[in-house]
Amino acid sequence: MRFLHLVLANLGRHKLRTLLTTASVALALFLFASLRTVVTTLDAAARFGSARRLVSTNATGIVFPLPLSYANKLRAVPGVEAVTWANWFGGRYGDNKRFFAQFAVDPQSYLEMYPEISLPEDQKQAFFRERSSAIIGRRLVDVFGWRLGQNVTIRGTIFPGDWTFTIRGIYTPTDAVINDDMLLFRHDYLEERVGRPGIAGWYVFRIDDANHAAQIARTVDGQFKNSSAATKTGTEQAFNASFATMWGNVSLLMGTIGLAVVFAILLVTANAMMMSARERTGEVAVLKAIGFSDRIVFGLVMLEAAAIALTGALLGLGGAKFLYKATNFNAAGFLPGFDVTTSTLLLGATVALLLMLASGLVPAIRAARLPVVQALRRVE
């Protein structure tokens, strides 16, 4: 502690340089935390889901629909207890600055399939009664200020035209498998408006025993194997994971970008530290001449690197944690539950520690090994 003022004084020697170096470390760790949180959020989303719920999509790809007639055939499969279906709507609201997901669902069977969607009974009945009604997640109330009974018009993209829905319910998710910023409207309303094509985006069905999942999935896919719309059936978790990986290998991409950013900043920081140490060759020689040991000189330089890395880590990691929490960030609905996890903070702190070692070690060793006589002669 008695050397602290010496460390602080050295850091204050070039205030702007110290500030910029610290800011670059903070920015690197902020980006690191952000990119990693994208990965952890996607991973977490992929882990949600009931083991007793299976999802069937078109084997060709999720963007291709399945016939609505499959519903009855699925109900007839042994082990299947209940069936529901849904369609991605993909509409835009207002200036589209705030995206949120909209799904056309079969009201009764969908709400029965997902007890995690908590909705007051009277609102549920209103949704069942009124064909153009919709229910919304609580977050949309916060975001748009919508209220029960309000008409909301959404511009269709996959299904063109203006679609007006009357809000009849505001649900609260009881489990992370359900996002709190969806708009669910009735599938029969969609069918009616687009001329009854008889399609569903995907099917969800509940099975009697999670241990039968693989066998039932095989039965379902076998049943439709030679039809015009073959199915691909998997668990709800696998379905969520497939959504998460729709953008390709996101984890690898984000991880690579994160490492590249950290490495780039490492070079900047190391360069700044070495420049700072080089400028002080004469001063280090004087310190050694008055009795500062190699170990103390090494420690002083490492403490400087530590102060920069620690401050950068606090600002970068703390800033990411606080900012995303305070703004309730969810990447316009794509990344619900976006929160910098403790493991990300610990990993970020480890990165900061490595950054400190990598940027501080070389100048610290050089300073410690500096031959006093040569250094003084060079300076003089």
Partner 1 sequence: MALVEIREVDKTFQRGSERIDVFIGLTLDIAEGSFTALMGPSGSGKPTLLNLVAGLDRPTRGSVRVAGAEVSAMRPNQLAPWRARHIGFVFQQLNLLPVLTAYQNVELPLLLTRLSRKERDERIRLALGVVGLEDRLSHYPRQLSGGQEQRVAIARAIVADPTLVLLDEPTGQLDARSSGDVLQLLGRLNQEFKKAIIIVTHDAHAADAARTVLHLDKGRLIERQGAAV
Residues in contact with partner 1 by CB under 8 A are: 2-3, 5-6, 9-10, 12-13, 282-283, 285-296, 372-373, 376, 379-380
Going by C-beta distance under 8 Å and a sequence separation of 6 or more, which residues neighbour residue 283? none
- Cβ-based nearer residue to partner 1, 58 or 276: 276
- Cβ-based nearer residue to partner 1, 14 or 52: 14
Task: Supply the DSSP string of 10-38, one letter for each residue.
Answer: HHTTTHHHHHHHHHHHHHHHHHHHHHHHH
Quote the CA–CA distance of 186 and 131 in Å, as a whole number: 6
- Amino acid symbol at 231: T
Place of tokens 């060709």: 60
- Cβ-based nearer residue to partner 1, 167 or 285: 285
- Cβ-based nearer residue to partner 1, 275 or 357: 275
Rounded least distance, CB 180 to partner 1, Å:
54
CB atoms within 10 A of CB 95: 6
Instruction: Please check whether residue 132 is in contact with residue 189, taking contact to mean a CB–CB distance below 8 angstroms.
Output: yes
Phi and psi angles of residue 13, each rounded to the nearest 5 degrees, phi first: -60, -50
Instruction: Please check whether residue 98 is in contact with residue 142, taking contact to mean a CB–CB distance below 8 angstroms.
Output: no
Structure tokens at 286: 């004087």
Quote the CA–CA distance of 165 and 183 in Å, as a whole number: 10
Instruction: Please check whether residue 187 is in contact with residue 71, taking contact to mean a CB–CB distance below 8 angstroms.
Output: no
- Cβ-based nearer residue to partner 1, 238 or 376: 376
Rounded least distance, CB 12 to partner 1, Å:
6
Rounded least distance, CB 242 to partner 1, Å:
58
- Cβ-based nearer residue to partner 1, 255 or 282: 282
Rounded least distance, CB 315 to partner 1, Å:
23
Rounded least distance, CB 282 to partner 1, Å:
4
Rounded least distance, CB 47 to partner 1, Å:
53
Instruction: Please check whether residue 175 is in contact with residue 41, taking contact to mean a CB–CB distance below 8 angstroms.
Output: no
Rounded least distance, CB 296 to partner 1, Å:
8
Structure tokens at 20: 């910029």
Residue 368's closest CA among 299, 275, 280? 299
Rounded least distance, CB 286 to partner 1, Å:
6
Instruction: Tell me whether residue 190 is exposed, middle or buried, using C-beta atoms within 10 angstroms of its C-beta: 0 to 12, 13 to 18, 19 or more.
Output: buried
Rounded least distance, CB 363 to partner 1, Å:
17
- Cβ-based nearer residue to partner 1, 296 or 361: 296
- Cβ-based nearer residue to partner 1, 316 or 363: 363
- Cβ-based nearer residue to partner 1, 135 or 297: 297
Quote the CA–CA distance of 347 and 36 in Å, as a whole number: 10
- Amino acid symbol at 116: E
Instruction: Please check whether residue 148 is in contact with residue 167, taking contact to mean a CB–CB distance below 8 angstroms.
Output: yes
- Cβ-based nearer residue to partner 1, 12 or 149: 12
- DSSP code for 178: S
Rounded least distance, CB 318 to partner 1, Å:
28
Quote the CA–CA distance of 177 and 185 in Å, as a whole number: 19
